[in-house]
A and B are shown apart, each in its own frame.
Chain A
Amino acid sequence: MDSSNDEALDIIVTNVVATFRTRCHLNLRTIALEGTNVIYKPEVGKVLMKLRKPMITASIWSSGKIICTGATSEDESKLGARRLARSLQKLGFKVRFSDYKVVNVLAVCSMPFAVHLIDFTKNNRPIASYEPELHPAATYRIKNLKATVQVFSTGSLTVTGPNVQNVATAVEQVYPLLFECQKPLCN
């Protein structure tokens, strides 16, 4: 699926963030007292609940909104969210699982070559930006995909986007641009 015919790039999804609503008010104190693996943060007003099976951390607000982070794939995220809702149900709340939405997906990928960041930024002027004083990577924002690609000089990429498909497309879009500005290896 790449423009390079020989190798396939491994895009590894490292984090998936999703939100859903339980449509009912949750008593945070009950959750804090009766659940295992919970951290209650009264000053912010939320409870952090960590699941082991899909390794997931969920922030639970009393309004019933829940943000679920730490999953490594979209399916895993959904499973973890449902598991969480089930455990809340068991605690006695009238939980309904609604408005599940994956909000952000973070993936890493590595090019087999190093990239000359200054040339890359010059060629893609308004879309790419590079400030060595602030961050060692060049940032390439793709507007129509709503994805951001951070390119490091070693050739490794960090991609964030609203879903896995966008992330894959972003990598494909960026690959030819990076290929032009690659640094030929000496050894």
Chain B
Amino acid sequence: MTSRLCRTCGGSDIDLDPARGSAVCTGCGAVLEDNIIVSEVQFVEGSGGVSAAVGQFVSSDGPVKAPLLGSGFHTSTGKESRALTLQNGKRQIHHLGSQLQLNQHCLDTAFNFFKMVVSKHLTRGRKMAHIIAACLYLVCRTEGTPHMLLDLSDLLQVNVYILGKTFLLLARELCINAPAIDPCLYIPRFAHMLEFGEKTHEVSMTALRLLQRMKRDWMHTGRRPSGLCGAALLVAARMHEFRRTVKDVIGVVKVCQATLRKRLTEFEDTPTSQLTIDEFMRVDLEQECDPPSFTAGQHKAKMQQLEQELARKLDDVEGEISCYRDEIETELENSRPKLRGIYAAYAKIGLSVCLSDEALSSTSDPAELEAEDAELQAAAQHLTQDFLCQVIQEEEGKKPEGTSEQQEEAGQAEEAEPQQQAAPLTFILGKLPSAASLGLQQTFHAFQEAAAEQEADGPADSGELDLDGIDDQEIDKYILSEREVQSKTVLWTKQNQEYLREQKEKEERITKEKEQGTYKEKTKKSSKKREPIQASTAGEAIEKMLEQKRISSKINYDVLRDLNSRGGSAGNSPTRSTPDPPAGRKRLTRRKKTSNKTNQGLAGHRARPPAQTQGEKPHHYETTSLPTTSL
């Protein structure tokens, strides 16, 4: 209340009346001010002598509404849905944020994000808790606070990947580029939790240096930052002679033991790990390393290469062996007596058995074939051993006969190394039939595949099935025979007994209900098909639609209709039970303007009675329907 000079007489004697809010000059009587704005709290006396302050609570966001009747600012008094959502969100943000010890600035920023999200309708179909958590985490990332998504998921008991999905979506939609997580941010927090006392700072510094080193050695790409922090802190603690076990660290850092061990081993592989503590603090190695998974991949590739080389060498060796084998065989042939007796028959049968088996079992399981092979091998070995013994005996018997040196040599060679050769020969000869059988099987397979792969792509969309190249026989194998069907039916019914029983009960229930007449089709949510509305103007169409679709039970539609006939007025927000008098129309329309502005964003499933300009003639509403109001 500044005392100032009167304009007319120049006198400084001004009388201020707070009740009327006026300033009057006592000299000349000129009124200087009317309705002074004062900032005082006034009290009124209520019933029973209770003093109450005059005024009302107004929320800092949301629409400024008319003074509320009654006390308090409970949410049930006529706020729009959008304001309610925002208020609810703000409360939840504050609740969650305080658990994370975020300061007010962060919470406000989070609320701003939330407002953006709501205005872009991204809250649809997502749990409010997830959205709130994602907004908070966005703030954490942009501000660089040491909060992990894991913390949030711990508080909410929600899977961290679900939260992550929501967070990524919000960040993309709001075009917010969250800077990448730096594991160095987490060090002070974890160090504090590990309780190093006075030396916390030193340990943190050491751990930071270790992390820098790890970054340079490419250990941190693609890894959870918390794991790296854990490893760095563990080593730093040990360096400063604190005994922190792996268990302590993983309790704080929230990774599992295996991960921590792995990080430590990877660090061990880098050349930095060879330095002593002092050297590490002083010196920084120039050389950088490759990422560990890359080196692992290269290691694997090298191993594969080595194996290939070995295989090739083996092949070479085998080649040599087969050369020797061929020579030996030719020698044997020359020196072998003609097959007589039962052994001849055995040898021939052995081979023919193999061949016929292949023909039959070309598509049987390789397991079976291997079993057969094993048997064949054993049989062949046995036979050839007997055979060899016989040969050797005959050789020995023949020695006095034979005069050629070759035969002698062969005989000697055979004698000299019957044992040595017996084993490889049986091995080699025993292997022959099975190798042959396998080879044949492979050719069978190749043949079938070739046959199958000769197809042209038939006409695409005729709907008819193009049968080119589809081997009917093979497909027949996919279908079981009668007997198989029966046995499978038995097995299947036994296995699925419970399900079948449930189905039967359900059917019985349905038939019973049908008889009783209480059967309800619960299957489809039948969308009620309404007839299309015939109307001449937009206003009429809307009235008819509103008629069909009753919005609220709290509106007395008859009264509204009457009001309408008197010349239009408030079809206000549906929670108003009493219609406002037409005298206050001007005020109403103004209020509605503001309210509708806030509702603009809502693609409301509640149809709001849309507006009409004030000057519209009332005779449009002859058809009894809800009045419309001005937008």
Which A residues form the contact surface with B (CB < 8 A)? Answer: 23, 32-37, 40, 42-43, 51, 53, 75, 78-79, 82-83, 85-87, 89-91, 95-100, 114, 116-118, 121-122, 125-126, 129-134, 136-137, 152-155, 183, 185-187
Please give the distance in Å from A91's CB to the nearest CB on chain B: 6
Please give the distance in Å from B176's CB to the nearest CB on chain A: 10
The 5 closest A-B pairs by CB, nearest first: A136-B222, A153-B221, A134-B164, A96-B463, A153-B222
Q: How far is the CA of A161 from the CA of B185 in the complex (A)?
A: 37
List residues of chain B with CB within 8 A of the CB of A43: 499
Which of B223, B289, B452, B463 meets A97, CB within 8 Å?
A: B463
List residues of chain B with CB within 8 A of the CB of A78: 457
- Chain B 487-498 per-residue mask, 1 if CB under 8 angstroms from chain A, else 0: 011001000100
Which of B150, B461, B467, B496 meets A98, CB within 8 Å?
A: B461
Q: Other than A79-B455, A85-B465, A153-B222, give 5 A-B pairs with Cβ distance below 8 A.
A: A34-B480, A83-B470, A87-B479, A98-B463, A153-B291
Q: How far is the CA of A39 from the CA of B452 in the complex (A)?
A: 26
Sample (10) of A-B pairs whose CB atoms are under 8 Å apart: A32-B492, A36-B479, A53-B474, A89-B465, A90-B478, A131-B168, A132-B221, A132-B223, A134-B160, A186-B289
Q: Are B221 and A116 in contact (CB under 8 A)?
A: yes
Q: Are B181 and A90 in contact (CB under 8 A)?
A: no
Please give the distance in Å from A147's CB to the nearest CB on chain B: 17
List residues of chain B with CB within 8 A of the CB of A129: 168, 171-172
List residues of chain B with CB within 8 A of the CB of A85: 465
Q: Are A90 and B464 in contact (CB under 8 A)?
A: no
List residues of chain B with CB within 8 A of the CB of A130: 180
The answer to whether B475 has its CB under 8 Å from any CB of chain A is yes
- Chain B 450-491 per-residue mask, 1 if CB under 8 angstroms from chain A, else 0: 001001010011011111011010111111100001001100
Q: Are A133 and B148 in contact (CB under 8 A)?
A: yes
Q: How far is the CA of A23 from the CA of B181 in the complex (A)?
A: 52
- Report the interface size class on chain B: 35 or more
Given A82-B465, A153-B221, CB of A126 within 8 Å of CB of B474: no
**B221, B293, B452, B472 pick with most chain A CB within 10 angstroms:** B221
Which B residues form the contact surface with A (CB < 8 A)? Answer: 148-150, 160-161, 164, 167-168, 171-172, 175, 177, 180-181, 218, 221-226, 287-291, 293-294, 297, 452, 455, 457, 460-461, 463-467, 469-470, 472, 474-480, 485, 488-489, 492, 496, 499
List residues of chain A with CB within 8 A of the CB of B472: 86, 90
Q: How far is the CA of A79 from the CA of B467 in the complex (A)?
A: 10
Given A53-B474, A87-B479, A186-B290, CB of A97 within 8 Å of CB of B464: yes
Q: Are A132 and B492 in contact (CB under 8 A)?
A: no
List residues of chain B with CB within 8 A of the CB of A32: 492
List residues of chain B with CB within 8 A of the CB of A137: 222
The residue in chain A whose Cβ has the minimal distance to the Cβ of B482 is A34
Please give the distance in Å from A142's CB to the nearest CB on chain B: 14
Q: Are B290 and A187 in contact (CB under 8 A)?
A: yes
